[in-house]
Each structure stands twice: as structure tokens, then as C-alpha cells.
């Protein structure tokens, strides 16, 4: 489970990619992690992993609402396979 201690209030949960079989979850985490560092900023400074409250989704919390929105827009609906 990916949960960090953080002060961020802007939270979201998006579906795990459809390609991420149970044995490939690390690949999905790495992909999200790389994207978040490139487009949002440093881990635990501008974003952190949080509880999604749903095992089929990954939870991320953000320092700024605009970063949360760009993350949702960038990833929701991308993987329709």
C-alpha cells in the first residue's frame, strides 16, 4: 500500500492502468512517479502517495489544487484498453 505521511489537502484517486496486472504494479507506480516528479515536482514536497480508499485506484495528495487537476486530466481516460 502506498501511503505517505503528508500535510497535503488536495487528494484524488485514479484507476490503476489496465495493463497493470497484479505482478506489474511496480511498473505502474514507476510510471506515475516519473510523471509526477517531472510535471508536479519533488515527492513529499509537492505531492505524496495517499490512501485511495479503493484497491482498484491509486491515491495521490497534492500541495496545490492545480497540480491535482492536471494529474487527473493527464491520466483519467488515457488507458482505454
All structural domains of the chain with their residue ranges: 10-75
Asked whether residue 76 carries a pLDDT value surpassing 60, the answer given is: yes
Segment 19-40, tens digit of pLDDT: 666 677 788 889 899 999 999 9
> pTM to 2 decimals?
0.85
Distance CA 41, CA 51 (A): 20
Residue 81 has a pLDDT of: 43
Distance CA 68, CA 81 (A): 24
Residue 60 has a pLDDT of: 96
DSSP annotation of 43 reads B
Angle between helices 25-39 and 65-75 (to 10 degrees): 130
Residue 77 has a pLDDT of: 59
Amino acid at each position: 500500500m502506498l501511503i505517505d505521511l503528508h500535510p497535503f489537502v488536495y487528494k484524488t484517486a485514479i484507476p490503476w492502468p489496465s495493463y497493470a496486472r497484479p505482478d506489474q504494479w511496480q511498473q505502474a507506480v514507476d510510471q506515475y512517479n516519473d510523471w509526477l516528479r517531472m510535471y508536479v515536482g519533488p515527492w513529499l514536497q509537492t505531492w505524496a502517495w495517499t490512501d485511495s480508499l479503493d484497491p482498484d485506484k491509486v491515491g495521490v495528495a497534492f500541495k496545490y489544487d492545480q497540480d491535482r487537476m492536471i494529474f487527473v486530466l493527464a491520466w483519467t481516460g488515457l488507458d482505454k484498453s
